[in-house]
Structure 1
Amino acid sequence: MNPVKRSLFNLHITMILLGGTALFSKLIALPALDITFGRAIPACVCLFLFVKLSGEKFRLNNTKDYFIGIGLGVLMAIHWVTYFMSMQYSSVSVGIIALFTFPVITVLLEPLFEKIKLNWQDILSACAVLLGIYLIVPSVSLSNDITLGVLIGIFSAFLYALRNLIHRQYFSHYSGARAMGWQTLIICPCLVFFLNDDFSQMDTRTALLLLCLGTVFTALPHALIASSLKHLRAKTFSLVACMQPFYGVVLAIIILNESPTIKTLIGGILVVSAAIYETVHTHQNLRRQ
């Protein structure tokens, strides 16, 4: 298998693994905050081992980068907590679809970071996402768990979009594994004082699931991303990344026996279609520049 095909295969495996992280919101009987903390510890260790084996340095270049890294870590901590919380309130299918509003949210936030103007296509994408979310939400009431899960998921998407924009602007000179290693390192002290008593009393099954989540489903995919980008264009990576909700929903159906409604699936198609469009549109604009 040539390097390009192998990288593309690895990238699809990566998206399956990242989509699979959502399953742990249901498989692990802990609050979202505890799951996030338990995910961050093994992920941090593995990512820094990968950085070491890759011959990179642990240290950042200057004091400013440390402050940026701390900020990104805090955003990532809240994003991960709300990501799992969204699915615990609703379902894996609904939560992961709500999360994938982030590409359109990113486009709407970009003018705040760069000299980019919104165009009518971006507004159309936003309308498609709103329609998709409308189809997913059963009732406009916070007393409905699915509605609350969707809103938390959109907030998580907002944080992820904000984190990505700051990362691209101020932290992109570091490799993905190194940057993510520092962010997972920051997550641990952010959450340690808020842990539930159940965390210290977890059984062996829960501990093994957290270890699996942090290593196989977090550190490994980020390592695979770093290696895949050596042979694939950024556009290819972004488009394949849009498959993550599809893989997540399929895994939820197979492993958790979830049964998404037709409205949820149609809403998901609208949200993911908008994400794919914005991905293609962004790369076309970059090519013209």
Structure 2
Amino acid sequence: MNPVKRSLINMHLTVMLLGGTALFSKLIPLTAVDITFGRSLPAFILLFIIVKLSGESLKLNSTKDYFIGVGLGIIMAVHWVTYFASMQYASVSVGIIALFTFPVITVLLEPLFEKIRIRWQDITSTLVVLVGIWLIVPSTSLSDEVTLGVLIGVFSAFLYAIRNLMHRKYFSHYSGSKAMAYQTMTICPVLVLFLSDDVATMSMETFGLLLLLGTVFTAFPHAMIATALKHLRAKTFSLVACMQPFYGVIFAIIVLNESPRWQTLLGGLLVISAAIYETVHTHKEEKRLAATGN
């Protein structure tokens, strides 16, 4: 099989696995903090093994990079906790759609990190996303768990955007597997003091689900991304990644018997459309700047 075609298939499989992580918020009978800790522990062990087997050094280039890695790990810890909490309060469909407001949030935050101006098209994308979120939210009361789940999901998206921007500016000279290895390693000690007593008494089934989440649905996809990008452009990966909410919603319907409201599906369509638009524009802009030498 052609290497590019194989990489594209692997990329879709990767995005499907990442979309499948949402299911564990409902399948694992633990708090969002417990799930995040249980996800990170096997993930960082396996990622470090993958980095070592690939022949890459486990060391970072400077003391400053270790501090940056820890900082990114702390942000990632809160992002993952709020990611799972969002779906526990609302639903997998609602939570994963709320998360994918992050491409538009990224565009709004970019001027703080780069010399980039916000365009009127970006404001339009923001308005489209706001309409999409408005359709998903059933009421304006925080006593409504779906509404609370949406707000937590958008906050998780904000953290994810911050993490991605900081990673691109300060940590992108490391491979995805190595960067994630250090971030997942940081998550474990950050969360250990906040674990519930249920972790010590969890069943073997729960332990197996956490192991599955940390390895097959976390460590392997991040390793596969690094491999696929050898044959695919970053733009291709970004566009395929926008399929993650679609896969997540389909999995939720099949595995969890969720029945998303038509408002949720329409709101999701608006949010994902804005995400795809911003993804395409970002790569066009990067290509233009590279051509002009700016």
Is TM-score (shorter-chain normalized) higher than 0.5?
yes
TM-score, with structure 2 as normaliser: 0.98
How far is the alpha carbon of 1:287 from its aligned partner?
1.2
* Cα separation, 1, equivalents of 2:253 and 2:200: 31
Task: Report the counterpart of residue 206 of structure 2 in structure 1.
Answer: 206
* Cα separation, 1, equivalents of 2:168 and 2:70: 15
Task: Report the counterpart of residue 137 of structure 2 in structure 1.
Answer: 137
Q: State the secondary structure of the residue aligned to 2:106.
A: helix
How far is the alpha carbon of 1:270 from its aligned partner?
0.2
Identical pairs, percent = 73
- Corresponding letter in the other structure for 2:111: P
Task: Report the counterpart of residue 236 of structure 2 in structure 1.
Answer: 236
Task: Report the counterpart of residue 42 of structure 2 in structure 1.
Answer: 42
Task: Report the counterpart of residue 90 of structure 2 in structure 1.
Answer: 90
TM-score, with structure 1 as normaliser: 1.00
Q: How does 1:90-239 map to 2 (within 5 A)?
A: 90-239=90-239
List gaps (5 residues or longer) in structure 1: none
Runs of 4+ that moved beyond 3 A = none
Task: Report the counterpart of residue 71 of structure 2 in structure 1.
Answer: 71
Aligned-residue RMSD, C-alpha: 0.4
Q: State the secondary structure of the residue aligned to 2:42.
A: helix
* Cα separation, 1, equivalents of 2:27 and 2:279: 32
Number of residue-to-residue matches in the alignment: 289
Q: Are 1:30 and 2:5 matched, yes or no?
A: no
- Corresponding letter in the other structure for 2:155: F
Deviations 1:219-276 (A, max 9, x none): 0100110100000001101000000000000000000000001000000000000000
- Corresponding letter in the other structure for 1:103: P
Q: How does 1:243-282 map to 2 (within 5 A)?
A: 243-282=243-282
- Corresponding letter in the other structure for 1:141: S
- Corresponding letter in the other structure for 1:63: T
Q: State the secondary structure of the residue aligned to 1:30.
A: coil
List gaps (5 residues or longer) in structure 2: 290-294
* Cα separation, 2, equivalents of 1:279 and 1:194: 36
- Corresponding letter in the other structure for 2:68: I
Task: Report the counterpart of residue 6 of structure 1 in structure 2.
Answer: 6
